[in-house]
Amino acid sequence: MVVGLSHRTASLEVLERAAFDAAAAERVVETLDASPHVEEVFVLSTCNRVELYCEVSRFHGGVADVGDALCRRIGLGLDELGEQLYVHYEDAGVEHLFRVACGLDSMAVGESQILGQLRVALRDLQERGLGGGALDRLLQNALRVGKRAHAETGLDAAGAGLVDAAMARATAVVGELAGRRALVVGAGAMSALVATTLSRVGMDVVVANRTPERAQRLAAAVGGRAVGLDDLRAEVAAADLVASCTGAIGHVLDVATVAAALLDRPERPIFLADLALPRDVHPDVATLRGAHLVDLEGLGADLAGSAVADDLRAVRAIVSEEVAGHAASLRAADVAPTVVALRTQARHVVEAEMRRLAGRVQLDDTVRAEVDLTVHRIVEKILHTPTVRMKELARESGGAGYAAALRALFDLEIGSTGPVTLPGDAPLSGTVAEAVGRVS
């Protein structure tokens, strides 16, 4: 199960309050380790997301405990966070992590920095003695899926493809870009890609960001100039191309700001590219005379049928394939105790019968060894096909029933196997408020 919040659901202020450093992550892990519902946990905290991944014994209890830990970290109640906290469970949780590992859920689509953060999470998990557990296997699979997506597709070019599409539209509006001014709002990975690309084609780049230090670093890297968000109106008025990707909740550029900027440049059109999710630029800006706005949906339409669109479809197909493979491997692992129990029972029967034979018939050591080997071979041959077939069938959806049938037929006594049962009223994905509300 994953419980978290990201740039897609939460305000920047909440994300900043939720961010975990190493000490905070250690404290929340210690808290959840003491929970009777949480068996394993790791924290994934980046500038755009805070997520807790857990192996839980009970769905509702796990949601409540993990949600409470996040709320206490943020300093807000569940009622205040509302829809900002989400929960994904079982296959939906696996799919979410695999999408994150591939960069499909990032502000800069296809970015690979997340793989480094997942490696840190895996190392921390193993240092806590949880190597080989459910989350260890999940993280290792996520890393492999992320690497596969980058190696087998052109995912690395996805962000560049969006920028190229935006530049093509901008050229149609304002003409040749070289020598013109660009305003880049934001200083994250996508903004860095935009600023670098626009600088290379000869544009004069200005970077505006809420945090001055980040704006200055990016501006210095592209030979541009940094400004604060307080200067947006003047900088929009001076720019020919505005590209925004801040990750903020709410519109960074509203209709009033752009309209006021257009008053200072009545004869010159301005092109605005909104590369953010949620959107940075109010959609009604497109109704202003002289303003030409395109967002990710529009750029995606430009890329439909292109190599970038094909690559994104290929990555999504990889994720779907790997989620199914992970689920199949878990189902196969779930039958292992049944196989072990069956073979153990067969061994005990053979040993008992050999002791019985030794008490009734005098056999020399050579004959006894040969009889013992023969009986074991017979048992192995009888058990081989059903156990192999059961493992194969268990990889299919609903395959756990075959192991249950075998346990019933042979009266096998083993501990609890298989994943946590999903409550009938609990969805695979949703908000934490919805999940906790079902309990109350």
Residue 59, number of CB atoms within 10 A of its CB = 22
Give the whole-angstrom CA distance, residue 315 versus residue 301. Answer: 18
Is 47 among the catalytic positions? yes
Catalytic residue among 47, 71, 102, 245: 47
Compute how many other C-beta atoms are within 10 angstroms of the C-beta atom of residue 93: 21
Integer Cα distance of 286 and 297 in angstroms? 14
Q: What are the residues facing 182 on neighbouring strands? A: 205, 241
Q: Which of 320, 273, 253, 46 has its CA nearest to residue 164?
A: 273
- The helix-helix angle for 307-334 and 296-303 (nearest 10°) equals 100
**Residues labelled catalytic:** 47
